[in-house]
Structure 1
Amino acid sequence: MKKNTPVVAGAAAVLCILSFTTAAAEPAVRGPEKVQDWYDAGQRFIRESKAVKPITGRAKNVILFVGDGMGVSTQTAARILEGQLRGQPGEENRLSFETFPYSALSKTYSWDQQTSDSAPTISAIMTGYKTREGMLGVDHLTPRNDCDAANVAAHSVETMLELAAEHGKATGVVTTARLTHATPAGAYAHVPARDWEADTHQPAGCGVKDIARQLIEVSPAVRKSLKVALGGGRSAFLPRQPDAATVDDPEYGPVKGGRTDGRNLTAEWLSSRGNGAQYVWNKAQFDAIDLAGTEHLLGLFEPSHMRYEADRAQDQAGEPSLTEMTDKAIRLLSRQRQGFFLEVEAGRIDHGHHGGNAKRALLDTIELSNAVRRAMELTRESDTLIIVTADHSHVFTIAGYPHRGNNILGVVKDVPEVDGNPTAPAKDQKGLPYTTLGYQNGPGHREGPRTDLSAVDTTELDFHQEAAIPMESETHGGEDVAIWARGPRAHLVRGSMEENWIFHVMRNAFGF
């Protein structure tokens, strides 16, 4: 997500989301407790590591999972929260992708940014080139906001999705953000300004196609290969109605939804894809899709971004989960004998952090882990390369000296000075408790003296962690993020990597 993007927080969760509330009594510590257990676990790790053999053949399929904004602190906190939601202390838990045999660190700077936004970072992953702030699918020589279509085309660089299409692979894009948002658009769009999601957002008379048009008006090879596109962002594809309500868009502020050119791009998707093309916009339609008779599937489940997982769970009939979309996408793409390339983005991790709302961000991270687990179940490690990474991090911290099993969303409680004594909240120099999770900047900044959190439920869904520097929207972080990989040529993911090298790993795995 871009730098100064406020977040729209959903309503507080109700009964069906109560399982996400972790304010209950902390679990007793469980796990390896005998002295020898810790040593034996290390020896078991060595034996298992020795048994890992690189899969050196070509990949039939490649699935790229992007946790937007999923830095290492996010992954760690989500791991603990998932374990605690299961009644465990949490620290020894592992997310699904943390079991992968290969991992590395990704350097996320862009051509002109020390700390990057999502456009150049996904462009690096998708094209193999580092580019400039706010740009998608073009090189760094592209003039900013260039409306000259011929010039933009001359500076465009091929994406992994386009390359896979040219080699006869089926392709797909799944996201919980708008399909026209930076990370999903990085798979197919070529624009010098990521904000050009619809014609409404472009300068008058601009010759470059907006991002929604680019999803529909793709090359013949991509039109044939792009079997599934699922996410939010419906308003960018539909004509504006005279009586259309004004929508408080999380990025553009109060806007009237819909296109100004009068085009209905969902209808054009159906007509240009022929028999077997389907368009859905709610969960009931999504669930009713017969994959046997479906060749191309477009799903646009919200006018803007899809809901956070915590909020989506309030109304199961409204829209599918990331896991459900991933499941359907893989089932549809797996029918293609030549194999497939699929990008799956958990886009709202990023939005939760921008809003200083750790709980929503972490629950969406756990849902990403669920989607990865489903992909592992539906594919074979022998022929499918799965890569899980983030495009960038956030200024999200895990601090203090909380005891093992301390509620990750709660206030810090140290290990007691005397064994067996109850734990008590740690205090700052002014005698006030503080949370384990926090932000360097963002909307959680409190003016004046710090709030006394003694009587505050910091695990509540709408709680905003404290931030040191006041900002409308919390910012990205510039540290490295992790890459996890399993499957053919996953061993090429190693050490400290430039982010754009991920593209080259995927390309090599396919044997292109």
Structure 2
Amino acid sequence: MMKAALCLATALITTPVWAQPASPALDAALARTPNTGGAKNIILFIGDGMGINSVTAGRIMAGQARGQDGASYRLTFETLPYSAFSKTYSADKFVTDSANGISAITTGVKTINGAIGVDATVASKACAPIASRIPTIAEQAKRMGKAAGVVTTSGVTDATPAGAYGHTSTRGWRSDSELPADAAKAGCIDLARQLVEAPDAIRMNVVLGGDLARFQTTATGGRRIDKDLTRIWAAQSKAQVVTSKTALTAVDPKTTSKLLGLFAEGDLPSVVDHKNQTEVPSLADMTSKAIEVLSQDPDGFFLLVESAAIDKWHHQNNAYRALTDVDELDKAVQVALAKTNAKDTLIIVTADHSHGLTQSAGSTREEPIMGLARNRGVNEPDKNGKGRTVLSYASGPSALEPHDHDLTQDEVLRPDFKQPTLVPLSSAQHTGEDVPVYASGPQAYLISGTVESTFLYEVMNYAISLK
């Protein structure tokens, strides 16, 4: 028996590599030719908080949901031909927040945590001087005659979407009711007003997401004190304001060049809960309509698309909803690939920062990623003999309500289950590891190795300037 095994091992070692058939992946890599042209269009996808552990666990969950082997499943954005890792630290912290995270990518300049569209000379909670403001890639696209837009599952004045149009030292100044009196007196302008009242030369053409309350006054159920910004938007030529999935679907891109869609008072609900929210569009729905409208501009467009729910549910230690939105982001990428031409559209998929999600050993591959660690149906318990989950978090609120009983498979597979965590906090913190980047289209080949988050701006700026 030992002699036979030795002979087999020797045969495996001595089989020449050149005699083995090439894999489809190798064939594709060998046939790959860098696109060195200019970009007519740029679509930047942000999976907020989507670190590499979120990609891995999200991939497995998406594959298993389709009845496939999750470990070998590939998300669509993982098939893009070029990839890298991005360093996400801010000007003042090892671990960035979403404000600096997106600002570094859209302006090419790292700033302090909490600031957007400005350099690092600003002080938090102070009006950003004109000299500190940095043009965003979206504003540059507009000045070049292109259209620009933002799609998000958060409120449209949240940090990441504001990275396309906002300039502020303090991300929380989203409406006039959230702007301190001394800041207003000093001339600071809230992000909702910045979005709607920007000069036409840099104003976004399409904005889709949540935050209706931050655009309407208290008289109509909103939270603004000064004026109804939806009316100001609607007063533009060829403009529409929509608040439902039905209305969004009905928008004719040939007659609408300025589209504001606000589908919730604040953030959009998780797609897991859409069965009870039938008039809330999915991220793919919004991405599709945004591309249809923006594509009417013959000069091209810039579009920022964010899955905010990945981050927001990670903050709550709810991996089920967070990882469901990794798949939702992937569906939006599929829409973008289908509706654009790879020859003239640069697509980048990345994250602004990571989260403290971990995937522990124990489970065999047929077991659900959301479940307990099990070896072919038999629990792989912790040292106390209790069931343990495959996924867990470094910090967050679920540690404040410890799982002091023996967890069951049925319990941990429920969408509302919160994975165990180590450090008790009211909200899980971001983490500082590098995040993945995936790219295709003009100049995408420049994205490789380990890069600064600001380098992504440089690639976009270079690609759009060539065209």
Task: Give the TM-score, by structure 2 length.
Answer: 0.93
Within a 5 Å distance, the mapping from 1:351-430 to structure 2 comes to 351-414=312-375, 422-430=376-384
Q: Secondary structure at the match of 1:331?
A: helix
Q: Which residue of 2 aligns with 1:502?
A: 456
Tell whether the 8 Å contact from 1:88 to 1:405 is kept in structure 2 after alignment.
no
| Paired amino acid for 1:109 | Y
Question: Is the deviation greater in 110-119 or in 438-447?
Answer: 438-447
Q: Secondary structure at the match of 1:371?
A: helix
Q: Which residue of 2 aligns with 1:154?
A: 131
Q: Displacement, 1:314?
A: 3.5
Asked whether 1:260 is paired with 2:214, we answer no
Q: Which residue of 2 aligns with 1:233?
A: 211
CA distance in 2, matches of 1:41, 1:481: 33
Decide which of 71, 85, 95 is 1:91's aligned counterpart: 71
Distance 1:101 1:304, change over 3 A: same
| Paired amino acid for 1:405 | E
CA distance in 2, matches of 1:482, 1:401: 25
Q: Which residue of 2 aligns with 1:296?
A: 258
Q: Which residue of 1 aligns with 2:172?
A: 195
| Paired amino acid for 2:225 | T
Q: Displacement, 1:54?
A: 0.3
Q: Which residue of 2 aligns with 1:485?
A: 439
Q: Secondary structure at the match of 2:99?
A: helix
Q: Displacement, 1:40?
A: 6.6
CA distance in 2, matches of 1:502, 1:41: 36
| Paired amino acid for 1:131 | T
Within a 5 Å distance, the mapping from 1:173-322 to structure 2 comes to 173-205=150-182, 206=184, 207-223=187-203, 226-241=204-219, 244=221, 257-261=222-226, 263-271=227-235, 273-274=236-237, 276-316=238-278, 318-322=279-283
CA distance in 2, matches of 1:401, 1:99: 28
Q: Displacement, 1:309?
A: 1.1
Q: Would you say how many aligned residue pairs link Structure 1 and Structure 2?
A: 448
Q: Which residue of 2 aligns with 1:118?
A: 98
Tell whether the 8 Å contact from 1:196 to 1:202 is kept in structure 2 after alignment.
yes
Q: Which residue of 2 aligns with 1:170?
A: 147
Q: Which residue of 1 aligns with 2:5?
A: none
Q: Which residue of 2 aligns with 1:20?
A: none
Could you tell me which runs of 5 or more consecutive residues in structure 1 were left unpaired when the two chains were aligned.
1-34, 245-256, 415-421
CA distance in 1, matches of 2:175, 2:20: 57
Once the two structures are superposed, residues 8-43 of structure 1 have per-residue CA deviations (whole angstroms, 9 ceiling, x without a partner) of xxxxxxxxxxxxxxxxxxxxxxxxxxx99xx97863
CA distance in 1, matches of 2:154, 2:409: 35
Give the fraction of aligned pairs with identical amino acids, expressed as a percent. Answer: 43
Asked whether 1:137 is paired with 2:117, we answer yes
Once the two structures are superposed, residues 405-428 of structure 1 have per-residue CA deviations (whole angstroms, 9 ceiling, x without a partner) of 2200000113xxxxxxx5301011
CA distance in 2, matches of 1:509, 1:43: 32
Q: Displacement, 1:398?
A: 0.5
Aligned alpha-carbon RMSD (Å) = 1.8
CA distance in 2, matches of 1:66, 1:42: 34
| Paired amino acid for 2:456 | I
Distance 1:447 1:189, change over 3 A: closer
| Paired amino acid for 1:200 | S
CA distance in 1, matches of 2:25, 2:324: 29
Q: Displacement, 1:443?
A: 1.2
CA distance in 1, matches of 2:169, 2:341: 38
| Paired amino acid for 2:347 | I
Could you tell me which runs of 5 or more consecutive residues in structure 2 were left unpaired when the two chains were aligned.
1-11
Asked whether 1:326 is paired with 2:290, we answer no
Distance 1:79 1:328, change over 3 A: same
Distance 1:409 1:449, change over 3 A: closer
